[in-house]
Each structure stands twice: as C-alpha cells, then as structure tokens.
Amino acid sequence: IQIADVEELVVNGATAIVLSRGFQNKLRVEPAVLEYLADKNVSIYIAETREAVTIYSKLAETTPVGGLFHSTC
C-alpha cells in the first residue's frame, strides 16, 4: 500500500483509514504511508482482511472512514 492508494481517501474527508493486509497477511504497508497519515492526523488500522472489514464496519457507525481491502491473497 502506497501513499497514492490512501491519498484520495484523505482528500475526501476520511479521519480514519482501515488497511487490510490480505487474507494471509502478505501485503505490506509502506512506512511512508504511515508517516503521511500521521501527518494528516488520520487514525490508522491495519489488519487481516476479515478483521479489517469488522473494524471498518464498527468505525463507519460514528467516524468518516475509508478503507482498502485486499481479497485475493
């Protein structure tokens, strides 16, 4: 996951972002992404895909949230 992947979510008002690492936790999140989101005061949640969906659903009840979910690995 790179900055370009999350930038649109931030621009459109997400104050929290959920990133999935795939079903087997094989995907990486670039350190620059974490720095970018921290600089924008965006809360970051990183988890395996099923857990990430659960986190997203809970946050969506009260928080402007965006997410990137990988379902093939």
| Mean pLDDT, the chain, integer | 93
Looking at per-residue pLDDT, the higher value among 67 and 26 belongs to: 67
**In contact, 12 and 32? CB cutoff 8 Å:** no
In this prediction, residue 73 carries a pLDDT of: 67
Query: What is d(CA 66, CA 51) in angstroms, rounded to the nearest whole number?
Result: 15
**pLDDT on residue 34:** 95
**Contact predicate 21/70, CB 8 Å:** yes
- Which pLDDT value is given to residue 25? 85
Confidence of residue 26 (pLDDT cuts 50, 70, 90): confident
For 66, the 3-state DSSP assignment is strand
Full-model pTM: 0.91
The residues, ordered by sequence, that sit 6+ positions from 20 with a Cβ below 8 Å of its Cβ are: 27, 46, 47, 48, 49, 52, 53, 67, 68, 69, 70
